[in-house]
Structure 1
Amino acid sequence: MSEATPIAIYVDADACPVKPEIYKVAERHRLHVFVVANSFMALPREPWIERVIVSGGFDAADDWIAERVARGAIVITSDIALADRCIKAGAEVIGPTGKPFTDASIGMALATRDMMEDLRAMGAASGGPKPFSPKDRSAFLQALDLAIQRLKRAGFIAG
């Protein structure tokens, strides 16, 4: 790793409830943010926020992110399969509720996701995740700040 490698944040933006918080933290730390989505979305006009619109293909946003991340990147996603790909590439991965995805937790997260898909397919489970709360927002901000500090201690720099 080069001492001059900047920290970058990649946002799986479709349905991400913490984009405003990401922008505030990124501005404070002078980090570049890639906001990746399948369609246009309004963003603050800042030189450090880059809008990336990918084709409407299945997992196109996930593929774009996973192909570019490495150590020094922070990925914000609730997509467990994308989280797994990014962890394998060396990135820090945080869910919008502040839950970090790690080597130690991703296997259980994948297994739970697969089990829930099977239960929904059988009609035994319905509904989605619990509503997003202020507690989730606070936990996310704390997790993002911790990830940035950990990367800075490891020699990565602000952009």
Structure 2
Amino acid sequence: MTSPAGPIAVYVDADACPVKDEVYRVAGRHGLHVFVVANSFLNVPREPWIERVTVPGNFDAADDWIAERVSRGAIVITADIPLADRCLKAGAEVIGPTGKPFTEASIGMALATRDMMEDLRAMGVAGGGPKPFSQKDRSAFLQALDLAIQRLKRAGFGAGQP
């Protein structure tokens, strides 16, 4: 039985996503459909509610696939800030793998910081990448995902599995 507002779907920008197993565990507990979207083949659990989507084409093909399908009631897991922006504009909830939710209030600053860091790297001033993923990040992610699911359920969205 689906809710009047429709089922909650989870879209994972899966290339280099460190929390796929956590998504599977939480989505299974809540009865949600998961789309694991990547540019190359990834092994995923064989469950009817987990759908692997391998997109051919350019570097942004997975981002495009996700952004074209999300709407209100969807949860997107991504570290990609431009994708987060596109998904927020479509009405989706967006969470980074470290548990940081992207919101309408925070996305502008995230985009500006990303652009500034890209410019600094191009000039050779800044280097390196993100800090190593930690157990604290994993815990924060699990908490943020559970909060997003609860918020959507309160708004009338429901499970996608029968």
Runs of 4+ in 1 over 3 A off after TM superposition: none
Query: CA offsets per residue over residues 33-82 of structure 1, 9 Å max, x none?
Result: 00000010111000000000001313000000000000000000000000
TM-score, structure 1 length as denominator?
0.98
- Alpha-carbon distance in 2 for matches of 1:105, 1:39: 30
Contact 2:99 2:138 (C-alpha < 8 Å) held by counterparts: yes
Q: Percent identity?
A: 85
Q: Which ranges in structure 1 are unaligned for 5 or more consecutive residues?
A: none
- Alpha-carbon distance in 2 for matches of 1:112, 1:65: 23
Aligned to 1:153: 154
Query: CA offsets per residue over residues 8-31 of structure 1, 9 Å max, x none?
Result: 000000000000000000000000
- Alpha-carbon distance in 2 for matches of 1:148, 1:9: 10
- Alpha-carbon distance in 2 for matches of 1:44, 1:31: 14
TM-score, structure 2 length as denominator?
0.96
Once the two structures are superposed, the pairs formed by residues 124-139 of structure 1 within 5 Å of their partners are 124-139=125-140
- Alpha-carbon distance in 2 for matches of 1:112, 1:4: 35
Q: Which ranges in structure 2 are unaligned for 5 or more consecutive residues?
A: none
Q: Which amino acid aligns with 1:19?
A: K
Is 1:41 matched with 2:42? yes
Tell me: higher relative CO, structure 1 or 2? Use CA pairs within 8 A at least 6 residues apart.
2
Q: How many residues align?
A: 158
Is 1:59 matched with 2:60? yes
Is 1:28 matched with 2:29? yes
Once the two structures are superposed, the pairs formed by residues 66-81 of structure 1 within 5 Å of their partners are 66-81=67-82
Aligned to 1:13: 14
Query: CA offsets per residue over residues 83-141 of structure 1, 9 Å max, x none?
Result: 00000000000000000000000000000000000000000000000000000000000
CA RMSD in angstroms, aligned pairs only: 0.8
Aligned to 1:121: 122
